[in-house]
Amino acid sequence: MSDATANRVGTPARAADSADSADFAGLAARAARLDAEDGLGKLRERFALPEDLVYLDGNSLGALPAAVPGAVDDVIRRQWGELLIRSWDESGWWTAPERIGDLLAPLVGAAAGQVTVGDSTSVNLFKALVGAARLAAPGRTRMLVDAATFPTDGYIAASAARMTGLEVVPVEPGEVLGALGDDTAVVLLNHVDYRSGRLHDLPALTAAVHAAGALVVWDLCHSAGALPVGLDAHGVDLAVGCTYKYLNGGPGAPAYLYVAARHQDAFDSPLPGWNSHAEPFAMTPEYVPARGAARARVGTPDILSMLALEAALGVWEGVRIEEVRAKSLALTDFFLECVAAYVPAGKVEAVTPREHGERGSQVSLRCANAREVMAELIARGVVGDFRAPDVLRFGFTPLYVGFADAERAARTLGHIFG
């Protein structure tokens, strides 16, 4: 999030109280037209959202899919309340981690049998990093870690490195190529930077890591459900991600771990549990890992949140991720245009890159008193979030965010600064 990546917004913008009102009316009219032409616009009906709320925080917590309350009620009242322990078999509780993993897999570009749902992102990242280190060629000593990563990823990487005898080397994603060497064992990268919304080049970076003889682990928390990922197509080794952001799985929803099929037989999880045993109910003292993605499991699945996620993933029926990406770029382009029109010159800077190939599905703006500005936006019905010290984040979830939402958010921001 350096100054070099920041783009001045509002030049040559005019203050909202002095701009031509016809221009503003034109933006509102264009938003209405774009919404009318939007093939994904009807999908908002699949969510339970207040009518008068502009919700631009799906990159922190996705909206509630309308089908989830009924599904969870059935899990609690019938599956748990009536069937009781029979539901492990009769309601498919036991197979849920891999079944839901297969539902999620197309959204990250993975074939069936490579994604397991369960545990938190942090736990899955620990499994992935230690497992990758154990898969790496002997004699390699370094673990390269995205220097701007979410703090927990850094903490987990440091612990995984201590366990496997590797040295953690922080590196900016743009400097990975120069940092790779024959001593590199594992590289941990974020597909989209959580502060700036910058999209990193997964295909090129994965290819470079492999050319150096190392393995790569990708964190997909801020990209899965917002843009194509292509794990299989680009030969990714392992990946992790949460499901409560663009995948709308709910607060604390279980995360997922992708282990490429070619690595599964040799994947050695640092957290072997009875659920990942080849014969879990044999209760033998010796651990024998299950085959396939199931060997990434640990303990008993968290069924209530797991099945809420399964219901939430129903919103993706008939939706192509490429269409979602196209709308995401159109929304963020339009939002930046509206910000430039409505916000007085020099009040905000865009931290998110303008280039489509470098932008995720959020727009981050730097401004003075950002915490107070975001609080005022929320009070006026526009919900985004704040990241210290001076960043406003606006996450655009194309399944339920429209162009009128983008226009209103920018106009409200202009009013606050005007």
Mean pLDDT of 159-165: 98
Sign of CA dihedral 122, 123, 127, 130: positive
Q: What confidence score (pLDDT) does residue 21 get?
A: 64
Cα(333)–Cα(329) distance, integer angstroms:
6
Examine the pLDDT at 2 and tell me if it is beyond 50: no
- Concerning whether 194 is annotated as a catalytic residue, the answer is no
Over pLDDT 90: what percentage of the chain? 94
Cα(188)–Cα(55) distance, integer angstroms:
31
- Concerning whether 219 is annotated as a catalytic residue, the answer is yes
Sign of CA dihedral 400, 16, 377, 253: positive
The pLDDT tens digits of the residues spanning 291-337 come to 999 999 999 999 999 999 999 999 999 999 999 999 999 999 999 99
Examine the pLDDT at 22 and tell me if it is beyond 80: no
Examine the pLDDT at 91 and tell me if it is beyond 70: yes
Strand partners, 164: none
Examine the pLDDT at 247 and tell me if it is beyond 50: yes
- Concerning whether 42 is annotated as a catalytic residue, the answer is no
Check residue 253 and give left, alpha or beta (phi > 0: left; psi -120 to 50: alpha).
beta
Please tell me which residue in 193, 219, 237, 390 is annotated as part of the active site. Answer: 219
Q: Using DSSP bridges, classify how beta strands 7-9 and 64-65 pair: parallel, antiparallel or unpaired.
A: unpaired
Tokens of 89: 């078999």
Please provide the average confidence, as pLDDT, over all residues in the chain. Answer: 94
Mean pLDDT of 127-138: 98
Cα(81)–Cα(418) distance, integer angstroms:
56
Q: Residue 88 — very low, low, confident or very high, per pLDDT cuts 50/70/90?
A: very high
Q: How many Cβ atoms from other residues are within 10 Å of residue 314's Cβ? A: 14
Higher pLDDT, 77 or 11: 77
Examine the pLDDT at 154 and tell me if it is beyond 50: yes
Of 6-20, 271-285, 325-339, 388-402, which range is least confident? Answer: 6-20
Please tell me which residue in 393, 394, 408, 411 is annotated as part of the active site. Answer: 393
Q: Residue 25 — very low, low, confident or very high, per pLDDT cuts 50/70/90?
A: confident
Tokens of 60: 């922190």
Please tell me which residue in 47, 55, 126, 150 is annotated as part of the active site. Answer: 150
On whether the CB atoms of residues 216 and 206 are closer than 8 A, the answer is: yes
Strand partners, 167: 142
Q: H helices within 9-85, ranges in order? A: 21-37, 68-74
Q: What confidence score (pLDDT) does residue 19 get?
A: 45
Please tell me which residue in 126, 244, 256, 403 is annotated as part of the active site. Answer: 244
Higher pLDDT, 232 or 14: 232
On whether the CB atoms of residues 392 and 367 are closer than 8 A, the answer is: yes
What domains are defined for the chain? 3-40+320-417 (3.90.1150.10), 69-316 (3.40.640.10)
Check residue 181 and give left, alpha or beta (phi > 0: left; psi -120 to 50: alpha).
beta
Q: What confidence score (pLDDT) does residue 358 get?
A: 98
Peptide bond into 97 cis (omega under 30): no
Strand partners, 364: 393
Q: What confidence score (pLDDT) does residue 418 get?
A: 85
- Concerning whether 262 is annotated as a catalytic residue, the answer is no
pTM: 0.94
- Concerning whether 393 is annotated as a catalytic residue, the answer is yes
